[in-house]
Amino acid sequence: MHMIFLTPLLVLFALFSAQPAGAQALEKIRITIPVPVLNFYPLYVAADKGFFAKEGYEAEIISTSGDGPDVDALISGSVQFTVSTPNRLFTAFEQGKPLLAVMNVVNRLAVECFMNKEIADELKITTSTPIDETITALKGYTVAGTRPGAFTYLVLQNYIKRVGLEPQTDIKLIGVGGPSSMIPAIENKTIAMGCSGSPSPEIAASRGKSIVATKNMSGGDPTLDNFLFALLYVEPEYAKQRPEVVRGVIRALRAAIAYIHDTPSAEQLPILRARFTGQSDEILVAALDTNRPTYKRDGLLTQEAVDKAAKFLRDAGIVKADIPWDAVATNEFNEQ
Whole-number Å distance between alpha carbons of 29 and 27: 7
Q: Does residue 199 have a cis peptide bond before it, meaning omega lies within 30 degrees of 0?
A: yes
What's residue 317's pLDDT? 82
* Chain segment 91-126, per-residue pLDDT in tens: 999 988 889 999 999 999 999 999 999 999 999 999
CA distances, 90 to each of 115, 123, 138, 261 (Å): 30, 37, 30, 30
Other C-beta atoms within 10 Å of 18: how many? Answer: 8
What is the rounded distance in angstroms from the CA atom of residue 16 to the CA atom of residue 20? 9
**% of the chain exceeding 90 in pLDDT:** 75
Predicted TM-score (pTM) of the model is: 0.83
**In order of start, what are the domains of the chain with their CATH numbers?**
27-109+224-327 (3.40.190.10), 112-215 (3.40.190.10)
Q: DSSP secondary structure string, 3-41?
A: -----HHHHHHHHHHHS-GGGSPPEEEEEEESSSSGGGH
What region does 299 belong to: left with phi over 0, alpha with psi -120 to 50, or beta? left
Q: Model confidence at 23, in pLDDT bands (50, 70, 90)? A: low
Residue 215, pLDDT above cutoff 80: yes
297 touches 334 (CB < 8 A): no
Q: What is the pLDDT of residues 304-327, one digit of tens each?
A: 999 999 998 888 888 888 889 999
- The average confidence (pLDDT) of the chain is 90
